[in-house]
Each structure stands twice: as C-alpha cells, then as structure tokens.
Structure 1
Amino acid sequence: MTGIIFWNCRGASKLSSRAYLKELVRKHHPIAVFLLVTRKQSLTRLEADKLIGRQWSFEISPSL
C-alpha cells in the first residue's frame, strides 16, 4: 500500500517513540514520511536517521 506518514516528533528522543515510528515505517512502507518538530528550530540529518533510518532523502523547511 502506498501512503504518507505525518508524525509530530515531540518525545522523539525516547527510544520507545523512535521504535514506534520505525515500526510504522517498516509495517506500512510509506512513500514519504513528514516529521513535525515542535520544540526545536531545526532537525539534523543525524537526528532524522535515528528516527527513520538512512534510506530516505532528507529535506528541511525551518519554521519561521
């Protein structure tokens, strides 16, 4: 199934949150994953890799 995941990253530093997101990606095979970071100005590539793995392209649109 083709799909998109939008996920609010609040609490993303918790191992259980990261494991949950990785399981969602593994189970549903989305074509895109959008991460909304509410408590930070930016998200680094390394932080994104920890959340969903390195196999994804990475783009960031900083908040205004």
Structure 2
Amino acid sequence: MTSIMFWNCKGAKKKEASHYLRNLIGENGMFFIGLIETKMENLGREDVRKLVGNDWEFHHVAATGTSGGILTLWKYRMASFKIIDSSKQCIIGKLIIPKGNKAKVCIVYGIKICMKEENFKS
C-alpha cells in the first residue's frame, strides 16, 4: 500500500516527531508527506535524513521564529512533486506518480489572527 499524509506536527525537530513519522512510513508505505507548523527556520538535507531517512526530496517554507513553517516531503523513487506556488501559508504543487497519475496538492498553514471582540460589534 502507498499513502500520503498531512500532519500538524507542532515541531518537526522533536525526537517524537521523527519516531512517529518513521513508524507511519514503514507501516503504511508513505511516499508523500505534508507537515505544517514545523517551527523550523532553517532546514537542510541532513535534517530531512534525520527526520524521515534517505530517498526523500523536500520543499520547505521557513517558520517565522517559532511559529509556522511548512515542509513537503516525497520519495523521489516513487513520485515527483513540482512546485507551482509557495508562500508563508501554503505550498501548491503537482504530484506525479508512476503511470502518469497526477494530482494537484495544496498544503495550507492557516496563521492564527487575534481578533478583538469590539471589531465585531455593530
């Protein structure tokens, strides 16, 4: 079985996140993962290797301080992911899997905005 997953991990560098991801990948044959709220400003190949292992490509949108961050991961031997657009709140791309199957994918991180009650009074 091959699967895709989207997860609000609330911190991708946490040891628990890596253990959880590796377990899910092994049990479910994950080949595409969208993580939100990574809380990571910088991310490199070594960070990805520690998080999910080898054979993964990635696209990262940096967090601002300890808030936000989006990470898209895909097993390059099983699929490709072409970025169409990327911003602080989303990554949009085309997921292409063997035999020409394609899907547009959007990973969204909705930034919480604090609204005061008086803004809603008539």
Both structures adopt the same fold (TM-score exceeding 0.5): yes
Q: Is the CA contact (8 Å cut-off) linking 1:37 and 1:43 kept in structure 2?
A: no
Q: CA–CA distance in 1 between the matches of 2:7 and 2:44?
A: 16
Higher strand share: 2
Using the size of structure 2 for normalisation, the TM-score is 0.42
Q: Percent identity?
A: 34
Shift of 1:53: 0.7
Aligned length: 64
Runs of 4+ in 1 over 3 A off after TM superposition: none
Shift of 1:21: 0.9
Higher helix share: 1
Task: State the partner residue of 2:25.
Answer: 25
Runs (5+) with no aligned partner, structure 2: 63-87, 90-122
Say which SS state the counterpart of residue 58 (structure 2) adopts: coil
Task: State the partner residue of 2:3.
Answer: 3
Paired amino acid for 2:17: S
Bigger Rg, which one: 2
Say which SS state the counterpart of residue 7 (structure 1) adopts: strand
Q: CA–CA distance in 2 between the matches of 1:40 and 1:59?
A: 13
Task: State the partner residue of 1:46.
Answer: 46
Say which SS state the counterpart of residue 50 (structure 1) adopts: helix
Q: CA–CA distance in 2 between the matches of 1:46 and 1:27?
A: 23
Using the size of structure 1 for normalisation, the TM-score is 0.68
Pairwise CA RMSD of aligned residues? 2.2
* More relative contact order, 1 or 2 (CA 8 Å, 6+ apart): 1
Q: CA–CA distance in 1 between the matches of 2:6 and 2:47?
A: 16
Assess, with a 3 A threshold, how the Cα gap between structure 1 residues 14 and 31 changes in structure 2: closer, same or farther.
Answer: closer
Say which SS state the counterpart of residue 34 (structure 1) adopts: strand
